Amino acid sequence: MDIHSLFHPAVAAWFDSRFAAATPAQRDAWPLIKSGRHTLIAAPTGSGKTFAAFMAAIDDLVRLGLAGELKDETQVVYVSPLKALSNDIQRNLEAPLAGIRDELARRGLPDVEVRTWVRTGDTPASERQRMARRPPHIVVTTPESLYILLGSESGRKMLATTRTVIVDEIHAVASNKRGSHLALSLERLAALCNGHGGHRLLRIGLSATQNPIEDVAHFLVGQGLVGQGQRAAIVDSGHRRERDLALAVPDSPLEAVMSMEVWEQVYRRLASLIAEHRTTLIFVNTRRLAERATRRLSELLGKEHVAAHHGSLAKEQRFDAEQRLKAGQLKALVATASLELGIDIGDVDLVCQLGSPRSIASLLQRVGRSGHAVGATPKGRLFPLSRDELVECTALLDSVRQGELDRLTIPTEPLDVLAQQIVAEVAAQEWGEDALYDLARRAWPYHHLKREDFDAIVAMLAEGFHTRRGRRGALLHHDAVNRQLRGRRGARLTALSAGGTIPDNADYQVLLEPENNVIGSVNEDFAVESMAGDVFQLGNRSYRIQRVERGVVRVEDAHGQAPNIPFWLGEAPGRSDALSSAVSRLRQAIADSLRQDPSGDCTLRRLTEQLALDPAAARQLVDYLRAGHAALGVLPTQDTIVLERFFDEAGGMQLVVHSPFGSRLNRAWGLALRKRFCGKFIF
């Protein structure tokens, strides 16, 4: 591929001045995008896929500008699942846009001003009104804000001229209801553009490599285009790449629960790794552990060198931590999944994971945050926090070595999401029943939607519900004779204020006095149980509670006093199906080996040679599984479920079901067993 044959000379010259060469993902994607093909770019973190999409879009805008045809209208919509990623993208667009303008000036060509705008839930109302008067050429937004724009008159007017939509980190939403919501929004956007001058919407998706990648491609373009033969071209650079991955275990043996002594060894090992590298990113599975680890590492390395990053910190706090890491002012940043996606945080030398990440995809995504430059090698260290996690982390390394991936499952026809989108679309304009049904079926999660299900939802939305005072909650007018749907008064407001699939939580805002600044949030239970005078930590700083009000905790700076650590409920991830299979496979292999060699020496040699496991970690793993095999006669696998009954110290009977099937199946099985016990024993 010759970049100079695809892009305007000024755009190509700017690229040559900044980059040595195009990456494989860019090389393969650009001819497809420039030819007008819907394209899915699947590549590891750091492969330049986001810029591959934007470079093609910017070139089109520059060519229109030079031809005098670039109007004050939106041409490109970029959708990202993270608000932080949206802000990051706008900042990263400024450099190429400014550089290309300088190159145009050097060549004596007319100036082309390409305007960008971020529209998220944090965008002030004044800025929204200003952009409505002079629309930007590139809108950077989130799935929820796209839904809101599609439901407002000014938003629809702005989006109607869109030519290209870019969906970033598409794999992060495709497997949940948030993705189903976005799929319907994309079809509404396509219908809006088609109704405004018949514009065809070019779709570009950016994804980490998934299994099966074809499902993500179908999700991007929808059944409407797949049925017409317009499948997305897939640029798959693969997920296999050189990685420096290893386990890190403390000197003391791991137990079922970590003692304070062993925790201290883990923190000191972390501190020594951080000291050996310029910047280190430490991932944990819960916000509470993020705060705990940040505090102890601050004591070992200095408070100015360590910061926390999680979803309960105010965006200003998170942004400050990101910028300090990027500027080299931080040695370590302790984060939850809030930094798993591709926010630009500069060069990271090492990624450490405290505890199992519970899925293959999460490990690859997180370790990929290091060695982010093209051609660099990601480096990661896994710290198992119990003996069972040692088994799981070993299976995880084996899965990565074999190139396995978690299997993506797209939800099938979530009807609650469909009801929201029907109300939002009908409130914006009148629709015929058949046309709206066809629109819904064009979204991939709904391509098997039955007509009777659609009709039942329409009837529910048109009839509402009955109370002693009459009918309530009707949102649509249904003209059954002419088969037309119109929004009732208040339908638009209901759709905009009650839409989306991110569940509301009952967190309390934390306000710092006397400035009255929001610094984050804490769980409702933690807030209610706290009292005035209590000191707690948030974002590696101590705060003293002044008073707890309804929904608000007012605090003051505690000036470094020893704090309590807040808790948040229901946030730890469950183990994925693919990783559960890997755990089962590892146990089976070791059980087979132990039958032939009860000493475990052959198993030990295989673990150290094939998986490059540290001898101390391999010895702990073999000793643990050998003891279990000796006690039970087998090791639990997906072919052999072990039910272990014992009596606790109080004489109560306990039953443990050793079932390595992952969280989705085990949670359902647990609920079924509980129901059976309730019926059998009547309690």
Q: Indicate the SS3 state at residue 480.
A: coil
Residues of the chain with pLDDT under 70: 1, 83-88, 90-91, 121-123, 126-128, 238-240, 341-346, 372-375, 470, 570-571
Q: Indicate the SS3 state at residue 626.
A: helix
The whole-angstrom separation of Cα 182 and Cα 657 is: 39
Buried residues in 58-82 as b, exposed as e (16+ CB within 10 A): bbbbbbbbbeeebeebbbbbbbbbb
Please state the φ and ψ torsions of residue 381, each to the nearest 5 degrees: -130, 125
Length of the chain: 683
Angle at 643 between CA 641 and CA 639, to 5 degrees: 5
**Residue 122 pLDDT:** 66
**Residue 442 pLDDT:** 95
Q: Which token pair is 118?
A: 């971020």
**Residue 609 pLDDT:** 87
Beta pairing, strands 642-647 & 653-658: antiparallel
Query: Is the CA virtual torsion 18, 24, 28, 29 positive or negative?
Result: negative
Asked if residues 564 and 534 have their Cβ atoms less than 8 Å apart, the reply is: yes
**Residue 375 pLDDT:** 64
Asked if residues 611 and 398 have their Cβ atoms less than 8 Å apart, the reply is: yes
The residues, ordered by sequence, that sit 6+ positions from 353 with a Cβ below 8 Å of its Cβ are 282, 283, 284, 363, 366, 367, 380, 381, 382, 383
Residue 474 CB coordination number (10 Å): 16
Identity at 642, one-letter amino acid code: V
**Residue 199 pLDDT:** 81
**Residue 471 pLDDT:** 74
Beta pairing, strands 202-207 & 39-42: parallel
**Residue 180 pLDDT:** 97
Q: Indicate the SS3 state at residue 545.
A: strand
Q: Which token pair is 86?
A: 């949206």
**Residue 240 pLDDT:** 65
Residues 399-416 have pLDDT tens digits of 998 988 888 899 999 999
Q: Which token pair is 584?
A: 């089962």
Q: Which token pair is 39?
A: 């394209």
Q: Which token pair is 110?
A: 């007319």
**Residue 185 pLDDT:** 97
Angle at 497 between CA 492 and CA 500, to 5 degrees: 105
Radius of gyration over alpha carbons of the chain, in Å? 27
**Residue 405 pLDDT:** 87
DSSP assigned state of 281: E
Query: Is the CA virtual torsion 447, 451, 455, 457 positive or negative?
Result: negative
Query: Is the CA virtual torsion 39, 161, 222, 152 positive or negative?
Result: positive
The residues, ordered by sequence, that sit 6+ positions from 497 with a Cβ below 8 Å of its Cβ are none
Which residue(s) pair with 407 in the sheet?
Answer: 211
Asked if residues 535 and 561 have their Cβ atoms less than 8 Å apart, the reply is: yes
Residue 331 CB coordination number (10 Å): 20
Cα atoms in the 13 Å half-sphere on the side-chain side of 138: 27
Q: How far apart, in Å, are the Cα atoms of 614 and each of 252, 280, 283, 603, 663?
A: 14, 21, 21, 13, 29
Residue 24 CB coordination number (10 Å): 15
**Residue 198 pLDDT:** 77
Q: Burial level of 388, CB count in 10 A (0-12/13-18/19+)?
A: middle
**Residue 86 pLDDT:** 60
Helix (H) or strand (E) holding 128: helix 125-133
**Residue 49 pLDDT:** 86
For the chain, first and last CA: distance in Å?
70
Backbone φ/ψ region at 229: left (φ over 0), alpha (ψ -120 to 50), beta:
left
* pTM above threshold 0.85: yes
The whole-angstrom separation of Cα 231 and Cα 215 is: 11
The strands making up 484-487's β-sheet, listed across from edge to edge, are 431-432, 484-487, 476-479
